[in-house]
Amino acid sequence: MQAIIHDSDDGLALASCGAVYISLLHKPLTVDGVARMARQSKRMFELYRGKCVSLAVIEPSAADAASKEVREKTAELARAHPILGAAIVIEGSGFRPAATRTLVAGMYLVTKKEYPHKIVSTAAEGAAWLVPILAQVGVTQSPEEMVAAVEAARAAIR
């Protein structure tokens, strides 16, 4: 399945690959970025009637703490368009990315998302985790297709 780039600038790229919604952050997320994500999330939700997943990739350059307003808007977005599952990729190795993964995992526990989620360190790991979730609703998608779509999104960042 071919990646479709829906929106991109120098800090954020939004793409899809079949029933997989991809967001790639190159810079920290802003309120405008959340609004752009919400528009695309709504399109995906309507197109697939909620039978879609999210693969969110946060590059090391984007891993700064989000403002309270961005956190609130992101929580609203998650409630507005429930999905089958979400893989959150926080790229990088070493202490800081590991600490960020732990922090995000803790935030997900506190906010109690209504769908399964997993915090991982690579797009390949996240894609592999999403495959069986999609398969439960009869959607066949390979991890390689998802990873290729992530790389297309990465290339689309200006």
pLDDT digit string, tens, across residues 21-45? 999 999 988 999 999 999 999 999 9
* Residue whose tokens read 């590059």: 59
Task: Detail the DSSP E strand segments found in the chain.
Answer: 4-8, 12-17, 20-25, 53-58, 85-90, 117-120
Rounded to the nearest 5°, which phi and psi values hold at 18? 60, -130
- Provide the Cα torsion 16, 22, 23, 24; round to 10°: -100
* Residue whose tokens read 């592999």: 128
Model confidence, pTM? 0.89
Compute the distance between CA of residue 149 and CA of residue 141 in angstroms, rounded to an integer. Answer: 12
pLDDT tens, per residue, the chain with 158 residues: 889 999 999 999 999 999 999 999 999 889 999 999 999 999 999 999 889 999 999 888 887 777 889 878 888 888 888 899 999 898 877 766 556 655 565 555 555 567 888 989 999 999 999 999 999 999 999 999 999 999 999 999 97
Q: Is 92 within 8 Å of 120 (Cβ atoms)?
A: no
Tokens read off for 129: 């985790």
What is 4-156's CATH topology? Answer: Transcription Regulator spoIIAA (3.30.750)
The alpha-carbon radius of gyration of the chain (Å, integer) is 14
Where do the structural domains in the chain lie, given as residue ranges? 4-156
